[in-house]
Amino acid sequence: MRVTVIGHSCLRVRTRAGTILVDPWLFGSCYWRSWWHFPPSQEPDEEMLRPDWLYLTHHHFDHFHYPSMRRIDRSAKVLIPRFGVDVMAGEVTGLGFDAPTELVHGRVLDLGDGVRVASYQYGFDDTAFVIAEDDTVIVDVNDCKIRGRALAQLVGDFPAPQLAFKSHSFAQSYPVLYDAADPAQLSLVTAQTYIDDFHEVMAQLGPRHAIPFGSMVGFLHPDSRALNAHHVTPAALVDGVAERGGIPGTEVVPMAPGDVWDSSTGFERSDFDWYADRDRHLAELTEKAAPKIAARTAKEEGVTVEWAAFDQYFGRLVREVPRLLARRLAPRPFVFHVPSDTERPYWWVSFRSRSVGRSAHLPDEASGLTTIPEAVLADAIRDRIVHMLHGGMRIHTSLEPDGVHSDLGFWGVVMIWEIGYLPLHRSGRRPRLWFSMARRWREFVQQAPSIVSRNPVDHLAERFGADT
């Protein structure tokens, strides 16, 4: 087996059953010119664009990048997780690929020649992926939040992996692009959270080598550039794990785009450190990306959000989300600042009153005030991807006192609705939802007591629920 880091969350794995490409974001940017590869990855060659197999962990654009998918040869056999909803299959076929094979949670698929793969779903829309060739095992945790009993199932099926890959830095706007008078509202997730979580997951997995992964991003757009200063670097992660006493039997090994691990010969790594002079490298990348960012800026100029579209979209949301769920997760009005509406710039969504409105002043009991470029918000409403705005990073939120739980709860509710789990009267009629839940009983047994007995947003934030 030969494993090559392509960039960010993308791997190319050569096996006896063919080449497997995982999470292809191969070039360019995503999320409205906000996210770019850092360290930079090489322009994809013909070999990279002709994999035998393709696996998508979930449908966020830094993992399932439509421009990259359009360049990949359509002969690739696509594998996707079998979630409780069937959104991904339609996205794949809509790009011209044959109907994908859906991997049932925890069920091993034999690709032939001693090569096996398996998908372990967790949360509403994420997965960990395992590739095994005889006794050689790699686990791509990526930014999946798999923990506890669910992770123990994976370990039981594939013990002692040689490599495990896992994210290690911020992938959502909270708390870096937030402000609040009370610092406690910005402390649910911190840089230390990521280090601790990396340590705990890898300690349970017990790989020979733990690879910082899924966080190779530079934020080059002016709206998101401040995030770079808060990035948890691989070096900081290595030091943080060491400060916690290390992981017995596991070595943390940073890998950059182009680096390789071979089951016969070991690591082939560049000795160039992109983080030693990170600010200079990011400035050079920003200059290189400037024409594309400028073109995006020009495209957005003068674009406004139409009230009718906002009202229709979020009006449907508040009607289709169960009252008890919405009120528990997001009891306070969520407010967007829409400056083009000079008379009533505060556009709000209230689950408590099941209504949408706009006003001249910030509504009482609002969770906060969120500002997003109107062109970006309009795009997200049109394409039904509003929940991705939180991870797109072109956003700023000012929290009102005690508003953080309702704010993060709002984004969680929107995500559950947009990917198809709500309304329940539709998804609940589908056998695949109940089959998925039955396969994942370990996760629900572990999560239920905490969600019932505590504020669910606290619990989700601890498990990176704030990550979109």
- 375 and 238 part of one domain: no
Q: What is the pLDDT of residue 76?
A: 98
pLDDT surpasses 70 at 461: no
pLDDT, tens digit (0-9, with 9 covering 90-100), for 91-147: 999 999 999 999 999 999 999 999 999 999 999 999 999 999 999 999 999 999 999
Token pair of 199, please? 């340590």
Q: At what angle do helices 431-439 and 441-453 cross, to 10 degrees?
A: 90
Q: Contact at 8 Å (CB) between 350 and 356?
A: yes
pLDDT at 160: 94
| C-alpha 299: how far from chain center | 26
Contact in structure between 8 and 25 (CB atoms under 8 Å): yes
Q: How far apart, in whole angstroms, are the C-alpha atoms of residue 23 and residue 332?
A: 36
Same domain, 168 and 229: yes
By mean pLDDT, which of 84-88, 190-194, 219-223, 450-454 is the weakest? Answer: 450-454
CA angle, 404 then 314 then 364, to 5°: 45
319 with 252, same domain: the answer is no
227 has pLDDT over 60 = yes
Residue 467 has pLDDT above 60, yes or no: no
The verdict on 231 and 92 lying in the same domain is yes
Report the distance separating Cα 330 and Cα 214, nearest Å: 29
Judgement on whether residues 249 and 317 belong to the same structural domain of the protein: no
Do 35 and 171 share a structural domain? yes
Q: Which residues contact 377 (CB under 8 A, 6 or more apart)?
A: 305, 336, 338, 386, 389
Res 446 pLDDT > 90: no
Residue 173 pLDDT > 80: yes
Q: What is the pLDDT of residue 386?
A: 98
Shared domain for 48 and 102, answered yes or no, is: yes
Using only C-alpha atoms, the chain has a radius of gyration, in whole angstroms, of 22
Residue 324 lies in a domain: yes
Q: With 80 as the cut, is the pLDDT of residue 466 above it? A: no
Mean pLDDT of the chain: 95
Q: Which pLDDT band holds residue 447 (cuts at 50, 70, 90)?
A: confident
Q: Is residue 442 part of a domain?
A: no
Residue 438 within any structural domain of the chain: no
Separation of alpha carbons 73 and 47, rounded Å: 10
SS (H, E, C) the chain: CEEEEEECCEEEEEECCEEEEECCCCCCEECCCCEEECCCCCCCCCCCCCCCEEECCCCCCCCCCHHHHHHCCCCCEEEEECCCCCHHHHHHHHCCCCCCEEECCCCCEEEECCEEEEEEEECCCEEEEEEEECCEEEEEEECCCCCHHHHHHHHHHCCCCCEEEECCCCCCCCCCCEECCCHHHHCCCCHHHHHHHHHHHHHHHCCCEEEECCCCEEECCCCCHHHHHHCCCHHHHHHHHHHCCCECCEEECCCCCCCEEECCCEEECCCCCCCCCHHHHHHHHHHHHHHHHHHHHHHHCCCCCCHHHHHHHHHHHHHHCCHHHHHHHCCCCEEEECCCCCCCCEEEEECCCCEEEEECCCCCCCCEEEECCHHHHHHHHHHCCHHHHHHHCCCEEEECCCCHHHHHHHHHHHHHHHCCCCCHHHHCCCHHHHHHHHHCHHHHHHHHHHHHHCCHHHHHHHCCCCCC
The answer to whether residues 233 and 362 belong to one domain is: no
436 lies in some domain: no
Q: Examine residue 461 and state whether it is found in any structural domain, yes or no.
A: no
Query: 49 and 16 in contact (C-beta within 8 Å)?
Result: no
Indicate if 145 and 222 belong to the same structural domain: yes
- The pTM assigned to this predicted structure is 0.95
Q: Would residue 434 count as lying in a domain?
A: no
Confidence of residue 451 (pLDDT cuts 50, 70, 90): low
Q: How many whole angstroms separate alpha carbon 343 and alpha carbon 322?
A: 32
**366: domain CATH number?**
3.30.1050.10
Determine the pLDDT at residue 327: 87
Do 211 and 120 sit in the same domain of this protein? Answer: yes
Whether residue 87 is predicted with pLDDT greater than 70 in this model: the reply is: yes
Spatial distance between the Cα atoms of 3 and 23, rounded to a whole number of angstroms: 14
Measure the CA–CA gap between 272 and 260, rounded to whole angstroms.
14
The domain in which residue 371 lies consists of 307-427
Is residue 35 pLDDT above 70, yes or no? yes
Span 240-284, pLDDT tens digits: 999 999 999 999 999 999 999 999 999 999 999 999 999 999 999
Q: Map tokens 């918000």 to a residue.
A: 377
Residues contacting residue 443 through CB under 8 Å, at least 6 positions apart: 122, 148, 149, 150
What is the rounded average pLDDT of the residues 332-353? 98
CATH code of residue 230: 3.60.15.10
Do the domain assignments include residue 448?
A: no
Peptide bond between residue 39 and the one before it cis (omega within 30 degrees of 0): yes
Confidence of residue 458 (pLDDT cuts 50, 70, 90): low
pLDDT tens profile 280-331: 999 999 999 999 999 999 999 999 999 999 999 999 999 999 988 998 999 9
149-171 residue pLDDT tens: 999 999 999 999 999 999 999 99
Confidence bin at 457 (pLDDT 50/70/90): low
> In total, how many domains does the chain have?
2
Clarify whether residues 375 and 281 are in a common domain: no
Instruction: Give domain status of residue 302, yes or no.
Output: no
Contact 104, 121 (CB under 8 A): no
pLDDT score of 453 more than 80: no
In this structure, the answer to whether residues 272 and 322 fall within a common structural domain is no
Single residue among 225, 258, 289 that ends a domain in this structure: 289
